[in-house]
Structure 1
Amino acid sequence: MYHHLPVGAYTSQDWFDREQRLIFSRTWRFAGLVEDIEGPGHYISVQAGLNNLFIVMGRDHRLRAFHNICRHRGTQLIRAVGKTQKALTCPYHDWTYDLEGNLISVPDETSEFPDGVDKSCLGLKPASVDVWRGMMFVHPDPDAPTLAEWFGEVDPLLGPHKPEELVEYAEGRNSYEIKANWKIVVENYIDVYHLSHLHSNTLHMYDHAKAEYGWKGPHYHFWEPPSAEYAKDHEANLPMPRTIPEPHVGAWVPMLFPGIGIGASEESWNLFIITPLAPDLTRIENRTKLANVSDWAFQKQQWKSWGFWKDFGGAKYRGDDATGEDDPMASGDFTTEDIYACEQQQKSLKSPYLEIGPASVGESPITQHQKAVLAFMQDD
């Protein structure tokens, strides 16, 4: 037996609440891409466990992070994303802060607060913000270790991509919900064994038997080469222009703890952001970046590879419509297959007859992730 977590870790509200406090409130949280904040006054907020945080660019073009809490009555100051000209004003009583987090205005101060208000000690509570590979992260702790320290030795194993030099593919940005615990979603993501089975007709362009994977701290790294058929005339077979220089080939699919997946290949770079919503509900946000090339170069590569993918790619690439079959396994889409598998597994957790069997070698990453979860949960 390999399972290190009880069933309650996937179903219990109490366990879920403890995870929010002990894991997601104590680790770095992806907030957005650097281009999401274009100039002074632009801001973006994100939930990090029990904490709603926001990043704002100051007049000095410096990024700062704060807890999204007014120091008067605790009202959240801002919405998810937006822009302000010079200041941040609480909607409740109009207490106002500058872009550096200092309290600068209290309405009716003389009449409402006859003893005065010491604004110098009522600035917004700071959090940490750091940028890594063109991605912004926040941490509730203003003295958190840097991202370089957090990711540590896993960094060089995440692929040669430079996402800050790529451009976002707007149509590739989406979000959806999976009716399963966030750990089931992570475990599916890092399960090497299932690649050759659940995705036998959708991810067969890579040689799963030659996958290389492991752990650095709580972070999982993964790389696998293209299959022999895909590798023949590989440059012509790429569906889109290269995002990395030759001779780099393959798929890099790490999972950064606790739930930041990256799916990168020769021709694309993708983010897979996991947000737990409830013990049995998880939201996924996808963002995709491609090579910064002309429309003509993009179309030329697609035309060049069309014949290969028409024959090799399956129903999805041929344009076959399988939606009428109402069968996720006939969708020709590996994401649909994964969602189906995760939700079916979550349903089984309710059965008193559930008993987890032995783990394959390719499922060993699941064991390591569960150990990482336990390490945080026991540090209470």
Structure 2
Amino acid sequence: MPPTVGAPWRLPGFWADIRPQVWSALGPPPAVYADEAFFADEQTRLFGRAWTGVALTDELSRSGRLLVRTVAGKSVLLTRSGDRLRGFMNTCRHRGTELAEADCDIAGTIRCPYHRWSYSTDGRLVAAPLFEASPPSDFDPADWRLVPVRVDTWGPIVFVCLDEETPPLDVWLGDLPERMAAYRLDEWRLANLEGAAATFEVAANWKLLVENFAEYYHLPWVHPKLAKVSRVRDHYRYQGPGMYCGQTTTPVSSDQHEDWVVLPPATGLGASDAASGRFVAVFPNVLLAVLPNHVFLILLEPVEVGRTVEHCTFLFPPGAAPSPEDDQGRQRLAEAFETTRRFWVDVNDEDIDICERVQRGVSRAGAPPGPMAPRFEEPLNRFHNMTADLMTLESVANLEAPGGDRPGDVDLYGTKPNPMPPPIEVEAALRGA
């Protein structure tokens, strides 16, 4: 359903109740999760202008690989040209034919299946068969490159942005790369283990999945097993300036369940990173759970207003995987990974079930939203405000990312100070920020 020109969610008044700080804010109206016209407009105004996570760098680690992804309802090609990643709209410059249907291998050339126009991996038109017989006037192949799309990476994630006005990815991420620098996430890899990547279809709006990931109010009732290793009393917010929100569990407990500690940990981590689980939602669609010994990554793909695909991947730190010749080592790693994998699948199943139930509630009943719980749901208020900004701004050229929590216990709304704050927050406290 196409949105009307006067769509209410493009106006500041629609978001008035979510704009206050968390102790006096409400959640968004039900239409944000259940209205087809909102979803259609959101594809253009939010996903059409955001840096959206679409793939893993591992998927493009070798030349000759071509990926097909959907961003804001548009088909995009991703490939590698030399040392550089490239992105293009998935359409031939001759008569608009779709160039590729799905991920595939190419021999250095992107060919249109219709009239065989061919492009290099940097987008140049290198062949237009039979045009030399009767070329159009002033025809210059240099004028007919593939339409480029902005591509950038952070850690193991490939991001795409369709809007030239959107600030660069490093501005979008804010202090997150510095905050998580000690993990060296760009060195983490997908292990060749059964179940290390999986896809789930969820009958819920994508924003409900982000919100569920970003708050820990629901842990005791929805995740009784998880709450034993990620205890509510050990949660603190984990967010500086940038287009993200999140929380940390410090410390990650292993006294009742060892599911999270059976894999070999990364080396070189400081005391806080080595003892914590970081749970970060990079706006809009990247959910990143970083433990000392593994990463559980979810890329959300909104398909319909009430349907989302989760692309889930486990990543492992450098040196975690034994050599191909070490059969015993691989067997031990596979057994340890299966324990962790099963734990996460169970947790994710619980999250899917409750998010689908929320979707049914906002779709079938749609009661006005209630208040946020300041101690547990401040990241949601931050996420709601980022959503409102993208939906109301006519230009994102001067988009302002939300500021960060102040160090110490000033902004924690009822909790004690984190006993092992991340180094970036310690440094900020020493500076008196």
**Worse-superposed segment, 134-143 or 74-83:** 134-143
Where does 1:122-137 land on structure 2 (aligned, <5 Å)? 122-137=144-159
- Letter of the structure 2 residue corresponding to residue 15 of structure 1: F
Matched, 1:105 2:127: yes
Counterpart contact for 2:149–2:161, Cα < 8 Å: yes
Deviation at 1:166, TM superposition (A): 2.9
Secondary structure of 2:137's counterpart equals coil
Tell me by how many angstroms 1:193 deviates: 0.8
Alignment match of 1:221 (pick from 246, 260, 267):
246
**Percent identity at matched positions?**
23
C-alpha change, 1:302 and 1:334, in structure 2 (3 Å) is same
Unaligned runs of 5+ in 2: 1-23, 395-433
1:241 is aligned to: 264
Deviation (angstroms), 1:226 = 3.4
1:338 is displaced (CA, Å) by 0.5
> Alignment partner of 1:192: what SS?
coil
Question: Distance between the aligned counterparts of 2:183 and 2:360, measured in 1?
Answer: 38
The 3 A distance-change label for structure 1 pair 110 and 256 is same
Instruction: Tell me which residue corresponds to 1:377.
Output: 391
Shift of 1:252: 0.7
TM superposition shift of 1:18: 1.0
Name 1:79's counterpart in structure 2: 101
Match of 2:347 in 1: 334
Distance 1:224 1:159 in 2: 18
**Preserved CA contact (<8 Å) 1:240 1:298:** no
1:45 aligns with 2:68: yes
For residue 293 of structure 1, what is the aligned residue in structure 2? 321
In 1: Cα distance, 2:366 partner to 2:91 partner: 46
Task: Specify the alignment match of 1:263 in structure 2.
Answer: 289
Deviation, structure 1 residue 106: 1.6
Q: 2:189 and 2:304 mapped to 1: Cα distance?
A: 33
Q: Structure 1 length normalisation: TM-score?
A: 0.84
Matching of residue 177 in structure 1 with residue 191 in structure 2: no
Equivalent residue letter for 2:86: R
Match of 2:182 in 1: 160
Q: What SS class does the counterpart of residue 230 from structure 1 fall into?
A: coil
From 371, 375, 381, the counterpart of 1:358? 371
Contact 2:299/2:310, CA 8 A, preserved across alignment: yes
Q: Distance in 1 between matches of 2:128 and 2:63?
A: 23
Stretches of 4+ moved more than 6 A in 1? 301-306
Structure 1 residue 208, shift from structure 2 partner: 2.3
Tell me the amino acid that sits aligned with residue 186 of structure 2: E
Task: State whether residues 39 and 61 of structure 1, in contact with CA within 8 Å, keep that contact through their aligned partners in structure 2.
Answer: no
Q: Indicate the SS of the match to 2:49.
A: coil
How far 1:112 sits from its partner (Å)?
A: 5.8
Question: Residue type of the partner of 1:365?
Answer: P
1:305 and 1:14 mapped to 2: Cα distance?
42
More deviation, 280-289/41-50? 41-50
Contact 1:31 1:44 in 2 (8 A): no
Kept in 1: contact 2:254–2:260 (CA 8 A): no
Partner of 2:78: 55
Shift of 1:144: 5.1
Compute the RMSD of aligned alpha carbons: 3.0
Cα deviation digits, residues 106-145 of structure 1 (max 9, x gap):
2221456453632221111112222221322222245754
Paired residues of 2:58 and 2:189 also in contact (CA < 8 A) = no
Structure 1 residue runs without a partner (length 5+): 318-330
Q: Which has the higher contact order (CA 8 A, sep 6+)?
A: 2
SS class of match (2:255): helix
Which region of structure 1 is more displaced relative to structure 2, 244-253 or 271-280? 244-253
Q: Secondary structure at the match of 1:197?
A: helix
Residue 251 of structure 2 aligns with an amino acid whose one-letter code is P
1: CA distance, partners of 2:332 / 2:120: 49
TM-score, normalised by the number of residues in structure 2: 0.74
State the alpha-carbon separation in 2 of the partners of residues 98 and 301 from structure 1. 41
Shift of 1:373: 0.5
| Deviation readout 1:156-187 (Å, 9 max, x if unpaired) | 33473223333313422001111011111111
Secondary structure of the residue that 1:101 maps to in structure 2?
coil
1:244–1:355 Cα change, 3 Å = farther
Question: Distance between the aligned counterparts of 1:297 and 1:249, measured in 2?
Answer: 25
Q: AA paired with 2:199? A: S
- CA shift, 1:197, in A, is 2.6
How far does residue 364 in structure 1 lie from its aligned partner after superposition? 2.2
CA contact (8 A) 2:89 2:148 kept: yes
